[in-house]
Structure 1
């Protein structure tokens, strides 16, 4: 079945160019010129991935993503000419999975789209196959098959990339992953590691699952090397 992409961008030339490259990969592409129309289309259709600019008329891309994340964990890629670290952090914090900055090579955006689709579908398939696996201690509980997370016995919803990071680290206890390795495994892109993307997701994951995010016990930093999962619980 062909995957369906929603592209939200007010520059018609960029829309045409991106759509051409995505359709060459056999993807179906719908286009919205502003965030409000894009939100309406998203709610009326099933999309496998969303691409949105940040600077949009009427409602910006950050507000759009914040609304979408209330109901959906579909992969979201920001396409923006804003290059400051804070702009990127804000987008990822609100639930964005990845980003490209303008001007960009269309092939790079396509690679990120295909990677996002692969990871999203792999996560869905894994949940169907591994129904019964459970990791828990007195604070954190994770059903790796059902993709359910409980913190202090309360269900906790994680954006797709945060959940994928947690599952990857949890399933390889005490194995140290570099930032580049995490980026390649979660975002499925080789040779274009972006430390900001990984570190922002780790930061927000810690805030949600750790007793004290300033002194993490689960997502542990190994200075000069990367991150590992501090395995103190039990598996069943």
Structure 2
């Protein structure tokens, strides 16, 4: 099956550059110059990953990704010149899986796209296996193979990266994972670590599954080392 990428960018030169590199990897790339055009394309075709600028004419990339997130959990990578910490945090909180700032090396963007696709396909393949393995206590229920999470018996929708993060920690509840280990396993980039990305996803996950996110009992911080799953 063809891998199809939706690229949203209003700079024609950047569009051409990114499209060339992705097409060299055998991917099909559809280009939209603004968010409204992107939504039209999104409704017409099936995509496997989205690369989007934030500063777009009309609707901005943040609003666009919120609309995409209401319909799909496919990976989203922001590609933007907005590089302040608050911009990165905002992008990840509203549903971005990764964040690449301009200027950028095309090879790095390609590596992040490939990593995002690998993780997404692994998630889909596991989901389709149909087997079930449940972890639960009185508050939280996790169907490991069905990729379903319930909090106080109510289903909670988690973006792909948050779900992968939860399952990774749950897989070895006694192990403490460093930020670099989490980033390598969830984002698939060996030797590259982004502490802010991990921290934002941990923060978002805690808000959704913890009784008291300020005093977490499931996703615990081991100061100076990393994070571990501490439930039950």
TM-score by length of 1: 0.97
Contact 1:8 1:35 (C-alpha < 8 Å) held by counterparts? yes
Q: CA deviation at 1:192?
A: 1.5
Q: Give the structure 2 partner of residue 212 of structure 1.
A: 212
Where do 1:86-235 residues align within 5 Å?
A: 86-129=86-129, 131-232=131-232
Q: Which 5+ residue runs of structure 2 have no aligned equivalent?
A: none
Contact 1:150 1:156 (C-alpha < 8 Å) held by counterparts? yes
Provide the C-alpha distance between the structure 2 equivalents of 1:141 and 1:7, rounded to a whole number of angstroms: 36
Provide the C-alpha distance between the structure 2 equivalents of 1:41 and 1:62, rounded to a whole number of angstroms: 17
SS in 2 for 1:165: helix
SS in 2 for 1:221: strand
Q: Which 5+ residue runs of structure 1 have no aligned equivalent?
A: none
Provide the C-alpha distance between the structure 1 equivalents of 2:192 and 2:65, rounded to a whole number of angstroms: 24
Q: CA deviation at 1:40?
A: 1.3
The aligned length equals 232
Provide the C-alpha distance between the structure 1 equivalents of 2:162 and 2:152, rounded to a whole number of angstroms: 18
Provide the C-alpha distance between the structure 2 equivalents of 1:10 and 1:191, rounded to a whole number of angstroms: 32
Q: CA deviation at 1:8?
A: 0.2
Provide the C-alpha distance between the structure 2 equivalents of 1:231 and 1:163, rounded to a whole number of angstroms: 16
TM-score by length of 2: 0.99
Q: Give the structure 2 partner of residue 50 of structure 1.
A: 50
Provide the C-alpha distance between the structure 1 equivalents of 2:26 and 2:52, rounded to a whole number of angstroms: 20
Q: Give the structure 2 partner of residue 5 of structure 1.
A: 5
Q: CA RMSD in A?
A: 0.7
Runs of 4+ in 1 over 4 A off after TM superposition: none
SS in 2 for 1:201: helix
Contact 1:10 1:33 (C-alpha < 8 Å) held by counterparts? yes
Q: Give the structure 2 partner of residue 15 of structure 1.
A: 15
Contact 1:6 1:32 (C-alpha < 8 Å) held by counterparts? yes
SS in 1 for 2:180: helix
Q: CA deviation at 1:129?
A: 2.7
SS in 1 for 2:224: coil
Provide the C-alpha distance between the structure 1 equivalents of 2:154 and 2:88, rounded to a whole number of angstroms: 30
Contact 1:130 1:144 (C-alpha < 8 Å) held by counterparts? no
Deviation per CA, 1:3-24: give whole Å up to 9, x if none: 1000000000000000000001
Provide the C-alpha distance between the structure 1 equivalents of 2:50 and 2:3, rounded to a whole number of angstroms: 11
